[in-house]
Amino acid sequence: MITKGNTGTRKWFFQEHPLIIIAIFWSLAMLLVGRLTAPSSVGCSNDNNGGGIKIASSNHAALKDADNEKHYGASNWIFDLIENPCERIGASQGNQDCILDVIFANIGTTNQYFLEYGFNIPDQCAGSGPNTCRLWRDFKWKGLLLDAENENLKIGLHKHALYSHNIVSILDKYKVPKELDFFSSDMDSHDYFVLRAVLESNKYRPRVISVEYNSNWPLGWTVSMVDPLLNHPEVRKPAFTDANCAWGASASSWDDLMHRHGYQMVAVTHMLDLFYVREDLLTDVVVPSSPEYFDTADDNEPSFGGHLHHVALRNLEFLDQLVDTRVFEDTGNLKLAKAHARGRILANIGLGEPFTLQCFAEIT
């Protein structure tokens, strides 16, 4: 395009308006850069989940990048919880109460029914802080509470020792809804095998599940206390053994189990609980890969595991109560799973960072 100046001399448009031309070229350049750098893998379907859920393979910091907003949507509550953890309201041990607020605000509720097992006193809103306190007290949810030692029928707390061979029949007895809104597991022992039995029964499909994980185990370690009656349900109830720092199950054991049954991690109360939501309820959001939930942990309280925050073991007598859950699931061989867990622990005791198992550091 050309124009005539006051003197009648013909000038090109860019000669009279150089700043406009520069601005146009700058905008085009930025648009091209944005297209070239946008991650192609974000928002792709995960072939292993079967539910069309989207798994993000890039770092969660990209959520706040305007160039990536079209991939994540204007708001993604899961990534928001990672980058800006909500603050404890006061009804749970950590910030489990506010995490539940966020989850149900985004996926909704159906029957407002909960199940929680593992109490240290017969009270719904005391002790170490049950995860269901606020749902029951403030929002009037109903549900079933279970514990091996405590009972309080006024709040629906029933006394039952739970094992993989009896948990489903107990839920049947109390007529627990198949798709209850919330399921909370906190036994500090063979929780893995109890929840495994529930999920494998296909009779119960909770919408949201929280599990307490043992962060004394590093990420990548699939270790759990074994159900002492796994192969011998006819034996009398064994006495509970205080496992000190080797209690419960590792985060990676839980993650394997939950993914296998169609659940995705959506939040973490660091060093305490993992939160999972059923995949069919997450089709409209991008879900981070599990390790990303541990990137933002406080440096003084690392949640990636391997750092002691319970009483250290002083001998190896407890090794026989531990199994490698991945080996067990792959082979079905309990003896082999125990041997694998034992061998890996013994091989890593006393090694330098980052694989020192501080839980066993006092064993000589």
The angle subtended at Cα 66 by Cα 65 and Cα 71, nearest 5°, is 85
Q: Which residue has the tokens 């072939």?
A: 47
Name residue 209's beta-bridge partners: 183, 276
Nearest CA among 143, 204, 139 for reference residue 169: 204
Q: Computed from CA positions of residues 21, 23, 27, 30, in that sequence, does the dihedral angle turn out positive or negative? A: positive
Q: What's the CA gap between 135 and 75, in Å, rounded?
A: 25
State the pLDDT at residue 42.
25
Q: What is the pLDDT along the chain (364 residues), one digit of tens a residue?
A: 433 344 344 444 445 545 444 444 444 443 343 333 333 222 223 333 333 444 443 343 433 343 344 334 435 899 999 888 899 998 899 999 999 999 999 999 999 999 999 988 898 898 778 999 999 999 999 999 999 999 999 999 999 999 999 999 999 999 999 999 999 999 999 999 999 999 999 999 999 999 999 988 988 899 999 999 998 877 777 766 678 899 999 999 999 999 999 999 999 998 899 999 999 999 888 898 877 787 654 544 444 556 677 888 888 888 899 999 999 999 999 999 999 999 998 888 766 544 567 888 777 6
One DSSP character per residue, 40-80 reads SSTT-B-TTTSS--EEE-S-GGGGG-GGGHHHH-S--HHHH
Contacts of 82 (CB under 8 A, 6+ apart): 60, 267, 288, 292, 293, 295, 296
Q: Report pLDDT for 351.
A: 61
Output the DSSP codes for 89-156. -SSSSSSHHHHHHHHHHHH--SS-EEEEE--SSS-TT-TT--TTHHHHHTT--EEEEEESS--BGGGT
Which residues are 322's β-sheet partners?
A: 225
* Cis peptide bond upstream of 354, omega within 30: yes
Q: What is the pLDDT of residue 328?
A: 98
